[in-house]
Structure 1
Amino acid sequence: MKKASLFIFLIYLTISCQTPTEEKSTAVGLDGWLEGTTEEKLEEVAHQLGGFSRTMVEVGYRYSELYWAGMDENWGYADHQIEHIIEALEDGLKRRPARTASSEEFMKETLPYMEELVKKEDKEEFLKGFQMLTSACNACHAKEGESYVVIQIPLNRTSPVRF
């Protein structure tokens, strides 16, 4: 046992004492679009993921789908949309943690409340809650200094999903 521990320790010393070599730049991805060192590739992937504006595109789509799901009384689809709104926001907040403070109430109170309303499967209650959700979206935008981004209840359905 002592020999094995000594052997592992010697391997560790050998590896840790080696001077790092410069990483070669390589290309990966379809047609090699992602080039550079590992760090450069990670920076490019982060850039491709974007900041919070890309998160808002997904949330906006799912907000509309949530509304129409409630109008159709398709409660499973409504629950699905809330789940994905939460997921998109969590991912966006990882990329832009500075937005966490302004989203805290929305994430901890507004969305869980909407989840509870969907579970009740009551269209009238859902519509009241959806109005509150809309107001909460606009309040969050105002906290971020983007009160010019005004959310309103959707007028037109763009998705082919129907119940």
Structure 2
Amino acid sequence: MKKLVLAIITLALFQFCQAPQTTDSTSSHGEDGWLTGTNEEKFDEIAHQLGGFSKTMVEVSYRYSELYWAGMDENWGYAEHQIEHIIEAMEDGLKRRPVRAESAETFMEEAIPAIEEIIEQKDKEAFIIGFRAFTSACNACHAKEGESYIVIQEPLQRLSPVRF
């Protein structure tokens, strides 16, 4: 998903740089010319396609579930992989929506390092306890944003075929 987004951005920027630099360029770009309008309108559309924080939360939700199952399987390498991608997704989302940074600060500076330390221990029982604290941190962040109706819980079913 991240590679697709980066490819779209790279293609758009490349095409922008190759286009005559007028403020009123209205040529079409992209497969079948889906990216139309002035350069400003095109950049607005690219920003819209990247989305705000809701798209970040879709990726974080997936990674959160995979992190849980990695811990349950004691697949510590996969757990580390998921945390890396949670961090990347959050950082990218916070670039797009810096207004969320204050609410996410405790999560990013405390909850993530805490779960990283627990993963390094490679102890399933410690992971279960730590994951519950991690989940609480997710919900605390949602509450700070006035979205306490978004309640995160440990996953009940695997959605991914990844097994260890």
TM-score normalized with structure 1 length:
0.86
CA contact (8 A) 2:63 2:82 kept: yes
For the 8 Å contact 2:23–2:39, the answer to whether it is kept is no
Q: 1:69 aligned to 2:74?
A: no
1:44-69 superposed Cα distances (whole Å, 9 cap, x missing partner)? 00001111111000000000000000
What is the aligned length?
Answer: 144
Distance 2:22 2:84 in 1: 45
Partner SS, residue 35 of structure 1:
coil
Q: Which runs of 4+ in 1 moved over 3 A?
A: none
Residue 46 of structure 1 corresponds to 47
Aligned equivalent of 1:89: 90
The DSSP-based 3-state class of the residue aligned with 1:48 is: helix
3-state SS of paired residue (2:36): strand
Query: What is the aligned-residue RMSD (CA, Å)?
Result: 1.1
Which residue of structure 1 lines up, in the alignment, with residue 31 of structure 2?
A: 30
Q: Secondary structure at the match of 1:47?
A: helix
Task: Find the aligned partners of 1:39 and 1:25 in 2 and give their Cα distance.
Answer: 10
Whole-Å separation in 2 of the counterparts to 1:45 and 1:33: 11
After TM superposition, give the deviation of residue 119 of structure 1 in Å. Answer: 0.9
Match of residue 15 from structure 1: none
Contact 2:26–2:36 at 8 Å: present in 1 too? yes
- Which ranges of structure 2 fall in alignment gaps of 5 or more residues? 1-20
Shift of 1:21: 5.2
Matched with 2:124 is 123
Where does 1:101-116 land on structure 2 (aligned, <5 Å)? 101-116=102-117
Q: Give the residue type in structure 2 aligned to 1:145.
A: G
- Which residues of 2 match residues 126-141 of structure 1 at below 5 A? 126-141=127-142
- Counterparts in 2 of 1:22 and 1:50: CA distance versus 1, 3 Å: closer
Rg: which structure is higher?
A: 1
Is residue 35–residue 45 contact of structure 2 (8 Å, CA) maintained in 1? yes
Q: Is the 8 A contact 2:23 2:38 kept in 1?
A: no
Q: Which amino acid aligns with 2:43?
A: L
Amino acid at match of 2:142: H
Look up the SS of the partner of 2:93 in the other structure: helix
Measure how far apart 1:37 and its partner are: 2.0
Identity %: 70
For the residues of structure 1 that align with 2:58 and 2:158, how far apart are their CA atoms? 16
Structure-1 separation of matches of 2:66 and 2:95: 24
